[in-house]
Structure 1
Amino acid sequence: MKQWNIYLSGEIHTDWRQQIEQGCKALPVVFTSPVTVHELSDAAGDHLGHAEDPFWRDHQSSKVNAIRTQTLIQNCDLAIVRFGDKYKQWNAAFDAGQCAALGKPYVTLHDDSIIHPLKEVDAMAFAWAKTTSDIIKIIEYVVKQ
């Protein structure tokens, strides 16, 4: 049975990743994700030199983070892109766009309250799920069948 590489993108403030990983323990899957510790992600480029302007600090760190995210997205079989209701996850929308451009299947995970702002992202998704249980069922189906 093929081992699936699944990239978990998006919101970092809840335990949705752990729920999916726990629910898929018995399946031949490997999960990857961006750096999910906000402070570490923000500081990814700090060792390259102090930037006075916050724009340049973010610019340095986003490029270092992109090494990881682009590589993991390019190598995944499926991406799950989670959008929470509290913060605007521009990075998750960007990851979804990369998946679409690369022809990588992705599933969005969000509730009804943000359907409208995500209409273009959802239009390119292979599925939209509202719960981690829905995601686990999709993964079980594609992996087992």
Structure 2
Amino acid sequence: MSFYVYLSGEIHTDWREQIAQGAEAAGLDVVFTSPVTDHEASDAAGDHLGTEGNQFWRDHKSSKVNAIRTRTLIEQSDLVVVRFGDKYKQWNAAFDAGYCAALDKPYITLHGEEIIHPLKEVDAAAMAWATTPEQVVEILRYVTRA
């Protein structure tokens, strides 16, 4: 039986690939999904619905189109990994963690020690806090073993 893991958050590093490669190398039966990780495509997700003169409405439409994918994949997952990077504020990742908490969906946060304080509430609801993709793979190894 496959274990479904949604990889949420920061899109500017290769953490998703590291986790997927680690899981494959460990022989884990894990299926990974994620949001659209092409920043420009994500920002333009609603552009086909009509041109907006106001950035708020462009972002509003695109966020709703993106939410179709995000909500569906989070709801279908067995576990969510939420990555917070140190370069950008990932408000969408915090929202995903909150959505998981509201659904009682288990999630793991993945971030460095330098942002423990601003993420204290997000971490408090998480099942685990990891600082490296390798730690996430070890958690997956444990929770998927027969």
Letter in 1 for 2:71: Q
Q: Displacement, 1:32?
A: 0.2
**What SS does the aligned partner of 2:51 have?**
coil
Letter in 1 for 2:4: N
Percent identical across equivalent pairs?
A: 69
Q: Displacement, 1:131?
A: 0.5
**What SS does the aligned partner of 2:52 have?**
coil
Letter in 1 for 2:13: T
**What SS does the aligned partner of 2:45 have?**
coil
Counterpart of 1:140 in structure 2 is 141
Letter in 2 for 1:7: Y
Q: Displacement, 1:30?
A: 0.3
Counterpart of 1:3 in structure 2 is 2
TM-score, normalised on structure 1? 0.98
Q: Distance in 1 between matches of 2:52 and 2:75?
A: 30
Q: Give 5+ residue unaligned stretches, structure 1.
A: none
**What SS does the aligned partner of 2:87 have?**
coil
Size of the alignment, in residue pairs?
Answer: 144
Matches within 5 A, 1:1-145: 2-25=1-24, 26-145=27-146
Letter in 1 for 2:19: I
**What SS does the aligned partner of 1:24 have?**
helix
Q: Displacement, 1:104?
A: 0.5
**What SS does the aligned partner of 1:51 have?**
coil
Residues 10-63 of structure 1, C-alpha deviations (whole Å, 9 max, x = no match): 000000000000000121110000000000000000000000000000000000
Q: Distance in 2 between matches of 1:95 and 1:104?
A: 10
Q: Displacement, 1:89?
A: 0.2
Q: Displacement, 1:110?
A: 0.3
Q: Distance in 2 between matches of 1:133 and 1:30?
A: 17
Letter in 2 for 1:64: V
